[in-house]
Amino acid sequence: MDYEIDSLGSTRYRKVTFQIKHFLNYKNESNNYYQLKKALQFFDELQANSLIKYFTDKKYRSLVTILEVTLQKKKQNSWFAEIWIAEELFHYAHPFLFPDLLQPKLTKHQFEVQFKFIQTFS
Q: Is residue 122 part of a domain?
A: no
Rounded to an integer, what distance in angstroms lies between the CA atom of residue 29 and that of residue 22? 10
Considering the domain boundaries, does residue 117 fall inside one? no
Indicate yes or no: pTM above 0.85.
Answer: no
Residue 30 lies in a domain: yes
Decide if pLDDT at 100 tops 70: no
Q: Indicate if the pLDDT at residue 95 is higher than 60.
A: no
The structural domain count of the chain equals 1
Closest to 42 in 3D by CA, of 59, 22, 57, 27:
27
Residue 116 contacts by C-beta under 8 Å, 6 or more apart in sequence? none
Convert the pLDDT of each residue in 51-73 to its tens digit: 777 777 887 878 788 888 888 88
Q: 48: domain range? A: 2-112
Instruction: Note the residue count of the chain.
Output: 122
Half-sphere exposure of 35 (CA within 13 A, CB side): 16
Half-sphere exposure of 78 (CA within 13 A, CB side): 12
Whether 67 contacts 13, CB under 8 Å: yes
Note whether residue 121 is domain-resident: no
Give the pLDDT score at 39: 85
Residue 64 lies in a domain: yes
The pLDDT assigned to 53 comes to 78
Structural domain includes residue 119: no
